Chains A and B, each alone.
Chain A
Amino acid sequence: MTSKNKQEWQETTLAATLKRFPERQERFETSSGIDVSPVYTPEDIPDSDYSAALGYPGEYPFTRGIQPTMYRGRLWTMRQYAGFGTAEESNRRYRYLLEQGQTGLSIAFDLPTQIGYDSDHPLAQGEIGKVGVAIDTLEDIEILFKDIPLDKVSTSMTINSTAAILLSMYIALAKKQGVDPAKLDGTIQNDMLKEYIARGTYIFPPRPSMRLTTDIFAYCSQNVPRWNTISISGYHVREAGCTAAQEIAFTLADGIAYVQAAIDAGLDVDAFAGRLSFFFDSHNNLFEEIAKFRAARHLWAKIMRQRFEAKDPRSWMLRFHTQTAGCTLTAQQPHNNIVRVAIQALAAILGGTQSLHTNSFDEAYATPSQDAVTVALRTQQLLAYENGIGDVVDAFGGSYLIESLTDALERQATEYIDKIDKLGGAVAAIEQGFQQKEIQESSYRQQKNIEENKSIIVGVNKFVSPFPNISGLLRVNPEVERKQKERLAQIKKNRDNDKVNKALKNLDEVARSQDNTMPTFLDCVEAYASIGEICDVLRKVFGTQKEYLVF
């Protein structure tokens, strides 16, 4: 027989089969709780007006991609997040990655650098060079980029509270290399709101933090026009345990808060919005993830055009970096992680990412070893060159399933954004613990599902078998601490300390005024003031933020 529509098929052919052969599960659903039906048909797509709903690549609302040719023109940027130990060691890793065909740099900083403590600070002890490279002064940045011409690479820096200082160091180094800052390409993460929600490297309260953020927007629009001034990040909220729909919603709600703050600070939306960039996670559910990237792109375009009345098409485009989901990596049977990463990377590419980091299989144990990071980079190169994935734009566009999921995710995310608006926006919602609570609920639910074997993780709660230890894990040499502290002591001795004190005093004054802080940060770092010294001034002016603890 031939059914006339989906309902008839469900009632006849499907029902007959289900009676004899029940499905594996009572219900199939995505991470966001969206029901997955056995098959998708045109009836599952609500809006049949193709051009209004989807459009074409490179055109509003950009669901299908932000460029007309996407990877046919240029492949995504392969950008492995790396950094550990001293600037010398990290510099060697960067040059190795560039030699292996990586196309952009991505700098990981250690926690003291991210939280504004010098290597000689008591709270830095034990943490120096551990999760990233230790930076105290401009001298470390000079070593970090030794023999890497800044006009030839694009550099992404995962730095937030101290973003203005690290960006100033990068600009200062460019000037030393004779490179015009206007030619610099790169990104600073500079997304403070998600630090309060999930990542935890905040220093100051939200409002002065937002002021530093908008100072950067204003300064870069004039002086470093090609720089991505922020990378509004869903990655960390997703890693903290939220769903795909929440990842879109919390990220775009933060984006709305930044745009509003910049407009409130007197900036014209089209002067800065084109330099906003985003950062998403790529998780395990292949179809939901592809749909997530498309939904985020569509929703942001609408927000920028309708809510903020941006006129420049560049302001409507959601450009994003993706990292595969670190939280899905298992310590058990670690080589399975290579496969997980490949599929997550595929989702990001099919979702139209602009750049990609693929995780290394040993990351449930340590910062990746050189062998492990090479496999991760090769995974991207395989996907780029061997499978034809990049030969067509938005391959899944028009798939009944993907379009239906894209629509469902956008609806769920919109509901969350409405809720956050009602609470007074992203900052007010954070202060009330809204996002934090939602994330904790989702993460606990996921853990219970694993414990109850409702979610299967191969090698952890099914197909468990003994596995050999992986060898060659990276260990940060304990000598790093001593070396780094020695270098800092040397610099503090040899620099012109009058110049440093003057620059720090000037920063104090500017921070208390309404003036843009960026030029004074640049003066401070050029005098070789340390990150800790600069942050101490700001701590005095702005105060410090305690954790918004919801438990």
Chain B
Amino acid sequence: MAEERKIRVLVAKPGLDGHDRGAKVIARALRDAGMEVIYTGIRQTPEMVVKSAVQEDVDVVGLSILSGAHLELFPPIIDGLREKGMTEVLVVAGGIIPDEDIPILQQMGIKAIFGPGTPIDKIAEFINNEVAAKN
């Protein structure tokens, strides 16, 4: 029996912000939920995030940001992923993101925004369902 390919997730911290508690907790929890998780560490430029996503051939990119720079830093990531042909990759985000920005980010192609207090099993379930629907 062929072993099922694990879902591959890149957890990334774009921008200069060092608040990595959430990103690290999510990364570990998704790993515990059976996914293959790559964590970039802090201070990633959009180009670095795109490069890691391509290199690691991930199914999911999770962006964590708390500095308020999401409207500036997310678009080049989304564009870069498209340019590299990663049109199928599921992009989700979390951190401190005001409600009014959520539709803007969703329109950009970010599938879900998980704000503070979101249960992690809900995030894992969302990723599992979305990736399954694509396959």
Residue positions of A touching B, CB distance < 8 A: 111-112, 114-115, 117, 123-127, 130-131, 195, 198-201, 239-241, 327, 330-332, 364-367, 440, 443-444, 447, 451, 457, 460-461, 469, 473, 475-476, 547, 549, 551
Contacts and interface: CB of A to CB of B under 8 A. Distances in A.
B45 A331 contact: no
B18 A201 contact: yes
Interface stretch (B1-9, B50-58, B81-89, B117-125): B117-125
A200 B25 contact: no
Contacts of A124: 16
B12 to A, nearest CB: 13
Contact of A127 (B15, B21, B41): B15
Contact of B21 (A327, A332, A476): A327
A530 B32 CA distance: 46
A167 B71 CA distance: 32
A200 B42 contact: yes
A149 B96 CA distance: 35
Nearest to A441: B28
A115 B72 CA distance: 19
Contact of B69 (A130, A365, A440): A130
A447 B69 contact: no
A115 B17 CA distance: 10
A365 B72 CA distance: 18
Nearest to A546: B41
A457 B29 contact: no
Given A125-B72, A130-B68, A131-B68, A200 B21 contact: no
Contacts of B15: 111, 126-127
B67 A551 contact: no
Contacts of A112: 16
Contacts of B21: 239-241, 327, 443
A390 B130 CA distance: 56
Interface in B84-135: 96, 98-99, 115-117, 119-121
22 contacts: A112-B16, A123-B45, A124-B16, A127-B15, A127-B67, A127-B72, A131-B17, A131-B68, A200-B17, A200-B18, A200-B42, A200-B43, A239-B21, A240-B21, A241-B25, A365-B99, A366-B68, A460-B117, A469-B99, A473-B98, A475-B98, A547-B41
Contacts of A460: 117
A457 B116 CA distance: 12
Nearest to A200: B18
Contacts of B71: 126
A112 B72 CA distance: 15
Given A127-B16, A131-B17, A330-B116, A447 B25 contact: yes
A331 B28 contact: no
Nearest to A129: B68
Contacts of B10: none
Contacts of B45: 123
